A and B are shown apart, each in its own frame.
Chain A
Amino acid sequence: EIVLTQSPGTLSLSPGERATLSCRASQSVDSNFLAWYQQKPGQAPRLLIYGGSRRATGIPDRFSGSGSETDFTLTVSRLEPEDFAVYYCQQHNRSPFTFGPGTTVDI
Protein backbone atom coordinates (compact mmCIF):
# COMPACT_ATOMS: atom_id res chain seq x y z
CA GLU A 1 0.00 0.00 0.00
CA ILE A 2 1.24 3.47 -0.88
CA VAL A 3 1.32 5.61 2.25
CA LEU A 4 0.95 9.35 1.74
CA THR A 5 2.39 11.66 4.38
CA GLN A 6 1.42 15.31 4.43
CA SER A 7 3.28 18.14 6.10
CA PRO A 8 2.90 20.27 7.99
CA GLY A 9 -0.09 19.00 9.90
CA THR A 10 -1.26 22.56 10.46
CA LEU A 11 -0.26 25.73 8.68
CA SER A 12 -1.15 29.00 10.39
CA LEU A 13 -1.14 31.88 7.92
CA SER A 14 -2.91 35.12 7.14
CA PRO A 15 -4.94 36.15 4.10
CA GLY A 16 -2.65 37.25 1.29
CA GLU A 17 0.17 34.93 2.34
CA ARG A 18 1.52 32.01 0.34
CA ALA A 19 0.79 28.46 1.46
CA THR A 20 3.02 25.55 0.52
CA LEU A 21 1.73 22.07 1.35
CA SER A 22 3.75 18.89 0.96
CA CYS A 23 2.66 15.34 0.14
CA ARG A 24 5.25 12.57 0.26
CA ALA A 25 4.60 9.04 -1.02
CA SER A 26 6.16 5.86 0.34
CA GLN A 27 6.58 4.62 -3.25
CA SER A 28 6.78 6.37 -6.59
CA VAL A 29 3.43 7.66 -7.85
CA ASP A 30 2.73 8.52 -11.47
CA SER A 31 1.95 12.24 -11.23
CA ASN A 32 -0.92 11.74 -13.69
CA PHE A 33 -2.73 9.97 -10.84
CA LEU A 34 -2.04 12.37 -7.98
CA ALA A 35 -4.85 14.70 -6.91
CA TRP A 36 -5.47 17.35 -4.27
CA TYR A 37 -8.77 18.03 -2.53
CA GLN A 38 -10.06 20.78 -0.27
CA GLN A 39 -12.52 20.08 2.51
CA LYS A 40 -14.42 22.54 4.68
CA PRO A 41 -16.31 21.60 7.86
CA GLY A 42 -19.51 19.71 7.16
CA GLN A 43 -18.80 19.47 3.43
CA ALA A 44 -17.57 16.79 1.08
CA PRO A 45 -14.06 17.11 -0.32
CA ARG A 46 -13.76 19.19 -3.50
CA LEU A 47 -11.33 18.39 -6.29
CA LEU A 48 -8.73 21.13 -6.76
CA ILE A 49 -5.88 19.57 -8.74
CA TYR A 50 -5.74 16.37 -10.78
CA GLY A 51 -2.97 14.86 -12.85
CA GLY A 52 -0.48 16.37 -10.40
CA SER A 53 -0.76 19.89 -11.81
CA ARG A 54 -4.02 20.34 -13.70
CA ARG A 55 -6.63 22.59 -12.12
CA ALA A 56 -10.13 21.23 -11.92
CA THR A 57 -13.01 23.13 -13.47
CA GLY A 58 -13.68 26.43 -11.72
CA ILE A 59 -10.58 26.35 -9.51
CA PRO A 60 -8.83 29.75 -9.40
CA ASP A 61 -5.30 30.02 -10.71
CA ARG A 62 -3.89 30.86 -7.28
CA PHE A 63 -3.94 27.09 -6.73
CA SER A 64 -1.14 25.13 -8.36
CA GLY A 65 0.27 21.64 -8.08
CA SER A 66 3.68 20.26 -8.86
CA GLY A 67 5.98 17.37 -8.17
CA SER A 68 6.90 13.90 -9.30
CA GLU A 69 7.62 10.38 -8.07
CA THR A 70 7.46 10.67 -4.28
CA ASP A 71 7.31 14.41 -3.64
CA PHE A 72 4.35 16.60 -4.50
CA THR A 73 3.40 20.15 -3.57
CA LEU A 74 0.22 22.17 -3.51
CA THR A 75 0.78 25.93 -3.52
CA VAL A 76 -1.78 28.63 -2.85
CA SER A 77 -0.12 31.81 -4.06
CA ARG A 78 -2.21 34.30 -2.08
CA LEU A 79 -4.62 32.99 0.51
CA GLU A 80 -8.19 34.22 0.35
CA PRO A 81 -10.49 33.93 3.40
CA GLU A 82 -12.36 31.05 1.75
CA ASP A 83 -9.11 29.02 1.38
CA PHE A 84 -8.84 28.25 5.07
CA ALA A 85 -9.69 24.54 5.09
CA VAL A 86 -8.18 21.04 5.18
CA TYR A 87 -6.28 19.83 2.13
CA TYR A 88 -5.75 16.19 1.17
CA CYS A 89 -3.57 14.54 -1.43
CA GLN A 90 -4.67 11.25 -2.97
CA GLN A 91 -3.10 8.73 -5.32
CA HIS A 92 -5.08 6.69 -7.82
CA ASN A 93 -2.02 4.94 -9.21
CA ARG A 94 -2.02 1.64 -7.29
CA SER A 95 -4.77 0.00 -5.34
CA PRO A 96 -5.68 0.60 -2.58
CA PHE A 97 -6.10 4.21 -3.63
CA THR A 98 -4.97 6.11 -0.58
CA PHE A 99 -5.36 9.58 0.86
CA GLY A 100 -2.96 11.55 2.98
CA PRO A 101 -3.95 12.55 6.53
CA GLY A 102 -4.49 16.16 5.53
CA THR A 103 -3.01 19.59 6.19
CA THR A 104 -5.13 22.17 7.98
CA VAL A 105 -4.63 25.72 6.79
CA ASP A 106 -5.92 28.10 9.42
CA ILE A 107 -5.60 31.69 10.43
Chain B
Amino acid sequence: QVQLQGSGPGLVKPSGTLSLTCAVSGDSISSSDWWSWIRQSPGKGLEWIAEIHHSGRTNYNASLKSRATISVDKSSNQFSLKLNSVTAADTAVYYCARLKYSYDANGPSRALDVWGQGTMVTVSS
Protein backbone atom coordinates (compact mmCIF):
# COMPACT_ATOMS: atom_id res chain seq x y z
CA GLN B 1 0.00 0.00 0.00
CA VAL B 2 1.02 3.62 -0.29
CA GLN B 3 3.30 4.88 2.47
CA LEU B 4 4.86 8.26 3.11
CA GLN B 5 7.94 8.62 5.28
CA GLY B 6 8.92 12.11 6.36
CA SER B 7 12.40 12.93 7.59
CA GLY B 8 14.53 15.89 8.58
CA PRO B 9 16.26 17.61 11.49
CA GLY B 10 14.25 17.83 14.66
CA LEU B 11 15.94 21.06 15.78
CA VAL B 12 16.46 24.21 13.74
CA LYS B 13 17.98 27.46 14.93
CA PRO B 14 15.98 30.70 14.74
CA SER B 15 16.47 32.50 11.39
CA GLY B 16 17.67 29.22 9.89
CA THR B 17 16.07 27.01 7.25
CA LEU B 18 13.85 24.05 7.98
CA SER B 19 14.33 21.25 5.43
CA LEU B 20 12.10 18.18 5.27
CA THR B 21 11.83 15.31 2.81
CA CYS B 22 9.01 12.84 2.24
CA ALA B 23 9.76 9.52 0.60
CA VAL B 24 6.86 7.94 -1.25
CA SER B 25 6.50 4.18 -1.61
CA GLY B 26 3.72 2.18 -3.22
CA ASP B 27 2.81 4.99 -5.61
CA SER B 28 4.62 6.99 -8.25
CA ILE B 29 5.15 10.62 -7.50
CA SER B 30 4.49 11.11 -11.21
CA SER B 31 0.90 9.93 -10.86
CA SER B 32 -2.06 12.27 -11.18
CA ASP B 33 -2.03 13.03 -7.47
CA TRP B 34 -0.63 16.06 -5.72
CA TRP B 35 1.72 15.99 -2.75
CA SER B 36 1.25 18.16 0.30
CA TRP B 37 2.78 19.48 3.50
CA ILE B 38 0.66 20.24 6.54
CA ARG B 39 1.78 21.23 10.01
CA GLN B 40 0.22 21.04 13.44
CA SER B 41 1.08 23.16 16.41
CA PRO B 42 -0.78 23.52 19.70
CA GLY B 43 -1.45 27.17 19.07
CA LYS B 44 -2.70 27.00 15.49
CA GLY B 45 -4.10 23.52 14.96
CA LEU B 46 -3.72 21.97 11.51
CA GLU B 47 -2.34 24.33 8.88
CA TRP B 48 -1.97 23.51 5.18
CA ILE B 49 1.40 24.74 3.90
CA ALA B 50 1.78 23.83 0.24
CA GLU B 51 1.18 21.22 -2.44
CA ILE B 52 2.92 20.19 -5.64
CA HIS B 53 2.19 18.17 -8.76
CA HIS B 54 4.96 16.25 -10.52
CA SER B 55 4.59 18.64 -13.44
CA GLY B 56 5.93 21.36 -11.16
CA ARG B 57 2.66 23.12 -10.52
CA THR B 58 2.46 24.38 -6.96
CA ASN B 59 0.04 25.99 -4.56
CA TYR B 60 1.14 27.73 -1.40
CA ASN B 61 -0.54 29.10 1.67
CA ALA B 62 -0.14 32.81 1.09
CA SER B 63 0.66 33.32 4.76
CA LEU B 64 3.88 31.31 4.23
CA LYS B 65 4.55 31.63 0.52
CA SER B 66 7.40 34.05 0.81
CA ARG B 67 9.29 31.62 3.07
CA ALA B 68 8.22 28.18 1.83
CA THR B 69 9.47 26.22 -1.16
CA ILE B 70 8.07 22.84 -2.13
CA SER B 71 9.82 20.67 -4.71
CA VAL B 72 9.61 17.19 -6.17
CA ASP B 73 12.37 14.74 -7.09
CA LYS B 74 10.94 12.25 -9.54
CA SER B 75 14.11 10.19 -9.74
CA SER B 76 13.96 9.51 -5.99
CA ASN B 77 10.16 9.41 -5.76
CA GLN B 78 10.17 12.01 -3.03
CA PHE B 79 9.19 15.58 -2.37
CA SER B 80 10.56 18.22 -0.07
CA LEU B 81 9.77 21.36 1.88
CA LYS B 82 12.08 24.21 2.76
CA LEU B 83 10.97 26.95 5.11
CA ASN B 84 13.40 29.78 5.67
CA SER B 85 13.75 32.48 8.30
CA VAL B 86 12.13 30.25 10.89
CA THR B 87 11.01 31.47 14.31
CA ALA B 88 9.60 29.74 17.37
CA ALA B 89 6.16 30.06 15.76
CA ASP B 90 7.26 27.48 13.19
CA THR B 91 7.69 24.83 15.89
CA ALA B 92 5.23 22.10 14.98
CA VAL B 93 4.73 18.55 13.81
CA TYR B 94 5.14 18.56 10.02
CA TYR B 95 3.15 16.02 8.02
CA CYS B 96 3.52 15.06 4.39
CA ALA B 97 0.41 13.73 2.69
CA ARG B 98 -0.98 12.65 -0.66
CA LEU B 99 -3.78 14.76 -2.09
CA LYS B 100 -5.93 12.31 -3.98
CA TYR B 101 -7.94 13.60 -6.90
CA SER B 102 -10.93 11.36 -7.60
CA TYR B 103 -13.84 11.37 -10.01
CA ASP B 104 -16.77 9.02 -9.67
CA ALA B 105 -20.51 8.97 -10.24
CA ASN B 106 -20.88 11.57 -7.48
CA GLY B 107 -18.46 13.97 -9.15
CA PRO B 108 -14.93 15.17 -8.45
CA SER B 109 -13.27 15.23 -5.07
CA ARG B 110 -9.97 16.06 -3.44
CA ALA B 111 -8.79 14.85 -0.04
CA LEU B 112 -5.62 13.99 1.85
CA ASP B 113 -5.93 10.23 1.85
CA VAL B 114 -2.48 9.07 2.93
CA TRP B 115 -0.34 10.78 5.59
CA GLY B 116 3.19 10.35 6.80
CA GLN B 117 3.88 9.72 10.46
CA GLY B 118 4.82 13.32 11.21
CA THR B 119 8.16 14.95 12.02
CA MET B 120 8.45 17.11 15.12
CA VAL B 121 10.50 20.22 14.40
CA THR B 122 11.52 22.57 17.18
CA VAL B 123 12.93 26.01 16.46
CA SER B 124 15.29 26.94 19.25
CA SER B 125 18.81 28.14 19.80
Chain A residue nearest to B62 (CB atoms) is: A96
Interface residues in A51-107 (C-beta closer than 8 Å to B): 51, 53-54, 56-57, 88, 90, 92, 95-102
Quick check: is A19 within 8 A (CB to CB) of the other chain? no
Task: Report whether over half of chain B's contact residues are helix, strand or loop; otherwise say mixed.
Answer: strand
Interface readout for B10-23 with A: 1 if CB under 8 Å, 0 if not? 00000000000000
- Known contacts being A44-B117, A92-B99, A96-B63, is A51 close to B47, with CB within 8 Å? no
Interface readout for A27-42 with B: 1 if CB under 8 Å, 0 if not? 0000011010100000
Cα distance, A95 to B109, chains bound together (Å):
15
Asked if residues B45 and A47 are in contact (CB atoms below 8 Å), the reply is: no
Asked if residues B111 and A50 are in contact (CB atoms below 8 Å), the reply is: yes
Asked if residues A98 and B48 are in contact (CB atoms below 8 Å), the reply is: yes
How many interface residues does B have (CB within 8 Å)? 27
Cα distance, A44 to B39, chains bound together (Å):
10
Interface size class of A (residues with CB under 8 A): 20 to 34
Asked if residues B106 and A95 are in contact (CB atoms below 8 Å), the reply is: no
Task: Give the Cβ gap from B121 to chain A, nearest Cβ, in Å.
Answer: 15
Asked if residues B107 and A102 are in contact (CB atoms below 8 Å), the reply is: no
Question: Which of A50, A92, A102 has the most C-beta atoms of chain B within 10 angstroms of its own C-beta?
Answer: A92
> Hey, which chain B residues are within 8 Å of A100, CB to CB?
45
Asked if residues A99 and B118 are in contact (CB atoms below 8 Å), the reply is: no
Quick check: is B116 within 8 A (CB to CB) of the other chain? yes
Cα distance, A99 to B47, chains bound together (Å):
7
Cα distance, A12 to B102, chains bound together (Å):
35
Asked if residues B48 and A97 are in contact (CB atoms below 8 Å), the reply is: yes
Cα distance, A96 to B62, chains bound together (Å):
7
Q: Choose from A51, A88, A92 the contact partner of B106 (Cβ within 8 Å).
A: A51
> Hey, which chain A residues are within 8 Å of B100, CB to CB?
50
- Known contacts being A32-B108, A92-B99, A99-B46, is A50 close to B113, with CB within 8 Å? yes
Instruction: List residues of chain B with CB under 8 Å of any chain A CB.
Output: 45-48, 51, 59, 61-63, 95, 97, 99-100, 102, 104, 106-113, 115-118
